[in-house]
């Protein structure tokens, strides 16, 4: 095999690996816990994602604005959001909010993603009739 073909093949393989790694990093979804957000010193200048469970009794609707509290069973975070609310949004559901937190007070969400509760349950084996 000529050396030129070998070099070209290695260059193509390296390019493919690079594209896979670069794409995986850019589409990776990372979110913080409420505790991580509250201890973050650089988060006030950038958009961040935070995950939590919508606290029962905390949902309030005011015209075009939705306010609620998310919790991680240790800490809570008030959230305000103006936008399209997912159909499955309700108390007790896990959500990821993306937006800005200025170090204290309310998290200003620009995106609200609700995790769909699993509709699948573990199959229970039935006794065979043989």
pTM of the shown model: 0.67
- Let me know if residue 3 belongs to a domain: no
For the stretch 68-109, pLDDT in tens is 999 998 899 999 999 899 989 999 999 999 999 987 889 999
| Integer Cα distance of 98 and 30 in angstroms | 11
CATH number of the domain that residue 51 is part of: 2.40.50.140
Q: Residues 6 or more apart from 40 whose CB is under 8 A from it?
A: 32, 48
- Let me know if residue 20 belongs to a domain: no
Beta bridge partners of 47: none
Sign of the dihedral through C-alpha 74, 80, 83, 86: positive
For the stretch 27-56, pLDDT in tens is 455 788 888 888 888 887 788 999 999 999
- Let me know if residue 42 belongs to a domain: yes
| Integer Cα distance of 30 and 24 in angstroms | 12
- Let me know if residue 8 belongs to a domain: no
Query: Considering its fold, how many domains does the chain have in total?
Result: 1
- Let me know if residue 19 belongs to a domain: no
- Let me know if residue 125 belongs to a domain: no
Range of the domain at 48: 30-114
Residue 59 or residue 128, greater confidence: 59
């Amino acid at each position: 095999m000529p050396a030129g073909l070998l070099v070209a093949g290695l260059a193509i393989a390296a390019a493919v690996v690079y594209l896979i790694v670069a794409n995986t990093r850019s589409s990776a979804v990372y979110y913080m816990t409420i505790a991580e957000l509250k201890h973050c010193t650089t988060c006030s200048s950038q958009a961040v994602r935070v995950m939590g469970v919508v606290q029962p009794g905390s949902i309030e609707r005011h015209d075009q604005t939705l306010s609620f509290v998310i919790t991680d069973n240790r800490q809570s975070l008030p959230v305000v959001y103006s936008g399209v609310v997912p159909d499955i949004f309700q108390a007790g559901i896990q959500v990821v909010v993306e937006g800005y937190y200025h170090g204290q007070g309310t998290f200003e969400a620009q995106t609200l993603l609700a995790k769909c509760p699993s509709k699948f349950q573990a199959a229970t084996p039935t006794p065979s009739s043989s």
